[in-house]
């Protein structure tokens, strides 16, 4: 190889690396890589993002059926379905010591099916979603009566959420207690569907992420899991 060809090859490689860097930083690839390295079963917890949850009077340290939903075979469009017996009798009066501010670490979401625990950040803007699972600020706090809504990116914290389906549980640890929810409904809706955030007569947890999970680019739909509160402590 002549010196001229070698010099041209080095220049071409340098230019390619610069172009790749510009593309990488301008797309969601960086977000995906960050989530891929952070999200591993049994290895992600709220302590990875913030070591402790502050309350008004003390510092609380967050605690530490095989069915795979690879394809959604049942998409429920009717909200008027029977609730679980536990949900019908469970009452809650969660009384948080203070209301969280946008960006606050407000708890931890444990997903037993995935063996994962994830920090819950108050707010659903990009700044919050980069740190963990976002809590929709206009919805009630976990454990309170009505609809508490959580959202996360499908390529970071919720990249395995498609494995969670009816009958599986979510456990939410907060400053006010521990709340266990059981999934009773799986829905796939358009991104503009506002029924996801409507009020509920009982304590409900709605978990949302983009769908399809393997879609290249911006995903047009949402994967929704609706869970009823079955126990609190």
Residues labelled as active-site residues: 153, 210
Q: What are the structure tokens assigned to 217, written together?
A: 């680019």
- Strand bridging mode 116-122 / 105-111: antiparallel
User: ∠136-67-186 over CA atoms, to 5°?
Assistant: 35
Q: How far apart are CA 231 and CA 114, in angstroms?
A: 20
Q: What gap in Å lies between CA 218 and CA 134, rounded to an integer?
A: 19
* Cα→Cα distances 108→132, 171, 227, Å: 9, 8, 16
Q: What are phi and psi of 158, to 5 degrees?
A: -110, 30
């Amino acid at each position: 190889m002549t010196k001229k060809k070698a010099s041209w090859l080095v220049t071409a490689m340098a230019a390619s690396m610069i172009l790749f860097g510009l593309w990488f930083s301008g797309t969601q690839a960086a977000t995906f890589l960050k989530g891929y390295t952070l999200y591993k079963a049994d290895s992600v917890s709220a302590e990875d993002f913030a070591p402790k949850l502050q309350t008004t009077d003390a510092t609380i340290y967050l605690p530490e059926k095989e069915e795979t939903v690879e394809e959604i075979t049942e998409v429920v469009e009717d909200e008027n379905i029977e609730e679980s017996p536990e949900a019908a009798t469970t009452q809650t009066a969660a009384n948080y010591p203070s209301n969280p501010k946008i960006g606050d670490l407000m708890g931890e979401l444990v997903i037993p099916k995935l063996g994962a625990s994830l920090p819950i950040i108050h707010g659903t803007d990009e700044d919050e979603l980069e740190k963990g699972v976002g809590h929709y600020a206009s919805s009630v706090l976990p454990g309170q009566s009505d609809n508490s809504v959580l959202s996360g990116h499908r390529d970071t914290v919720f990249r395995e959420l498609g494995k969670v389906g009816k009958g599986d549980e979510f456990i939410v640890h907060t400053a006010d207690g521990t709340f266990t929810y059981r999934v009773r409904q799986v829905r796939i809706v358009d991104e503009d569907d506002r029924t996801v955030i409507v009020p509920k007569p009982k304590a409900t947890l709605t978990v949302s992420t983009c769908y399809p999970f393997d879609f290249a680019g911006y995903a047009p739909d949402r994967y929704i899991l609706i869970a009823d509160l079955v126990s609190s402590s």
